[in-house]
A and B are shown apart, each in its own frame.
Chain A
Amino acid sequence: MSSPYAPLIVALFLAALIPVAFVILGSRLGPRRPSAEKTTPYESGILPSRLPGDRMPVKFYLVAVLFLLFDVEAVFLFPWAVARHRLGDAGQIGMAIFFAILVLGLAYEWRKGAMEWD
């Protein structure tokens, strides 16, 4: 078990196992008493007068996509930060280029006003 990926594999295994176990246990152990009322959508005790339409304002999508982009960037930054010394100059330069592209993107969307909600 000296492979550096062993802890990762164990973590992935647990991450897959635990939710599945909860769902299975929950469905087996919980009482099953469905009723029409129970499946009505919750809207603070009132039946919803209108179901939400198919279209949503695109602002939500924009926020989600921006978050995703920068989150993935952070995911790449972490391992690089841990292993910086071993990567040497090539690592520095490569990461600097990667980072610069994303900073350019950030500057662009900031100027364009994509960070403002309205």
Chain B
Amino acid sequence: MAVRSAVNPGSTDYARFEERFRGAVARDEGMVGVGAVWRVRREAILDVLRFLRDESGLRFRMLTDLTAVDCAPVRDGDRFDVVYILHSLERGDRVAVKCAIPEEDCRCDSAHALFANANWLEREAWDMYGIEFRGHPNLKRMLNHKDFVGHPLRKDYDIYRGQWLSESDDLLDELERRRELDPRPVPADRETMVLNLGPSHPAAHGVLRNLVELDGETILHAIPEIGYLHRGFEKSAEVHDWNQIVPYTDRLNYCSAILNNIAYARAVEALCGITATDRTMFIRVILGELSRIMDHLVCNGANLVDLGALTNFWYLFNLREKIYDVIESVTGARLTNSYTRIGSLWADVPPEFSDSVRNVLREIPKAVGDSEKLVVRNRIFIDRTVGVGKISTEEALSFGFTGPCLRATGYEFDLRKAYPYDHYDAFDFEVPTGHQGDTYDRVMVRFEEIRQSVRIVEQALKMMPEGPIKADHPALTIPDKKQTYGNIEGLVNHFKIIMHGVQVPKGEAYVASEAANGELGFYIVSDGGQTPYKCRCRAACFHIYSAFPRLVEGGMIADAVATLGSLNIIAGELER
């Protein structure tokens, strides 16, 4: 399955980089899915990142992920490794940079000036591991609450130790700091109003909180606070078997659960060095695209409801029910499917699968067409969404945008085309892009992506081969019942997998798939055991939401509501 890395690891650009930073940089052992891994000395990290970002041959413009690993149980030296995963979209290449941090002097320089999304990523690393980032403008708790003591992802933090919170953070200190940074201060005679668009709000899509400072209807400053749905995915993954983590991945972006299952299964399969069978890949594509369609239906339906267009909600949700019927007949569940396993699927599709999918595919263009017709030339919709929440491609890349939000800015980047997996290169489909990255573009890109997904599913149904769904790897996939009862090897393999779980070899991998919101990546570190050593989810909407203040400041509250709906922020994925 090898995830493609376009560039030869020994290429001249890398050699030039290593030469430039000789003494501070050393090549490290490989990470699956990434072109090269370097270990960098702490003092040189900002220079290294700047060089990688700006140097003409390298151009690693996007910080895909920034996380840390607690190495206390496995090595005696520096306790933490801060891991930066960078992505060069033009070259089609990813690299990783690691920086060792000792526990006694737990500090690293902040990269927030180089990459806009490093701000939030570093806050999360501080919250989870306790690594202080020097120069960070606002190093506060991100996912845990303000009264939390300790750093939960450290290996010595007991997973069951919960801590109560009595009163929410009022965020006024952040507002003060934000005001100080504002180049245009508010005139002294203006009285501004400070309001919570809080966690219990119809247009806040679940649990997103924003403290906004208003001048009339205009938002001067917006302070987002997240963490109200932080459910400890990473820590839970560290105490569960490889296959037991699949239900946890369902609940990341719960509107399109199968896409998360697929992304996780691919990452672990890459680490194991196995490839799923062709039939499995095609089934994953079909169900994955149906999930993508469902996610876009929810996003657009909810967004239009926020704008006041309730009819679309009914149309699109009825369509969702029809797709649910198909998915339920295959996976047994409507919403949270847990369908993939490492190396295979939970079960093969039922015999009437093709017909039921074709029936649903006939319904989709009609319902989506009806809904789109109501809005695409609707004066009110256009006035409320065109030019609202605009962002340029440059800024979007700096924030780490991927998926429909990036494509709405006009930049055509889709992991299914750039790094094809699961036979996506065999399908004929287009990647829709927008013009100026505003709310209108985001909504329309999603409508169009639904149509393209329908095309993919039609082609996949025609091409789907017969054959087994389990990869032929006795240590990873449970043998068929015939084998289990038929011969001793089957019995032993079955026993070992059920009793000891799947054995994933030592190593690490970063593998990303195109989920409904963009690049959903899993950075997995395995120590050869039954459970992952670290299972980090690179959530697409975390990066997108970090740009939210930039998108809404200067606009009105109603614009903020429209923008928030169009970004498709799913709290399960945002806060894991």
Q: Are B194 and A57 closer than 8 Å at their CB atoms?
A: no
Q: Verify if B170 is at the interface (C-beta below 8 Å from A).
A: yes
A94, CB-defined interface residue at 8 Å: no
| B232 within 8 A of partner (CB) | no
B-chain residues with CB within 8 Å of residue A49 when the two chains form the complex = 170-172, 194, 196, 211
Interface residues of A, count at CB 8 A: 17
**Contact with A46, one of B168, B216, B217, B218 (Cβ below 8 angstroms):** B168
B191 touches A53 (CB 8 A): yes
B200 touches A52 (CB 8 A): no
Give the chain A neighbours of B198 by CB distance below 8 A: 43-46
B195 within 8 A of A: yes
**CA–CA, A117 to B554, complex, Å?**
13
Contact: B199 with A45, CB < 8 Å?
yes
Judge whether B139 is part of the interface by a CB distance below 8 angstroms: no
Say yes or no: B194 contacts A50, CB within 8 Å: yes
Q: Let me know if B330 is at the binding interface, CB within 8 A.
A: no
Query: In the complex, what residue of chain B is closest to A54 when comparing beta carbons?
Result: B191
**Interface SS, B side:** mixed
Choose among B196, B199, B200 the residue that contacts A48 (Cβ–Cβ < 8 A).
B196
Is the pair A53, B197 in contact by a Cβ cutoff of 8 Å?
Answer: no
Looking at the complex, which one of B167, B195, B209, B215 makes contact with A57 (CB distance below 8 Å)?
A: B215
A55–B216 touching, CB < 8 Å:
no
Tell me the complex Cα distance, A73–B215, Å.
Answer: 31
Please state if B199 and A44 are interface contacts (CB–CB under 8 Å).
Answer: yes
Instruction: Knowing A50-B194, A53-B191, A59-B216 are in contact, say whether A44-B204 is a contact too (CB < 8 A).
Output: yes
Chain A residues with Cβ below 8 Å from B196 are 43-44, 46, 48-49
Q: A45's closest neighbor in chain B, by CB? A: B200
Q: Which of B211-230 contact A (CB under 8 A)?
A: 211, 215-218
Q: Which of B190, B197, B216 is most buried by chain A, counting CB atoms within 10 A of its CB?
A: B216
- Rounded to whole angstroms, the CA-CA distance of A55 and B198 in the bound complex is 24
B194 engages A44 (CB within 8 Å): no
Instruction: Please tell me if B193 contacts chain A, counting CB pairs below 8 Å.
Output: yes
Contact check, A60 vs B216: say whether CB atoms are below 8 A apart: yes
- Say yes or no: B170 contacts A44, CB within 8 Å: no
In angstroms, Cα B169 to Cα A47, docked, is 10
A52 touches B193 (CB 8 A): yes
B407 to chain A, nearest CB (A): 31
Binding site for A on B (CB under 8 A): 167-168, 170-172, 190-191, 193-201, 204, 209, 211, 215-218, 556
Q: List 10 A-B contacts (CB under 8 A).
A: A43-B195, A43-B196, A44-B198, A44-B201, A44-B209, A45-B168, A45-B199, A48-B195, A49-B172, A50-B193
| Extra A-B contacts (12), CB below 8 Å, given A44-B197, A59-B217, A118-B218 | A45-B199, A45-B200, A46-B168, A48-B196, A49-B170, A49-B172, A49-B194, A53-B191, A56-B216, A57-B190, A59-B216, A117-B217
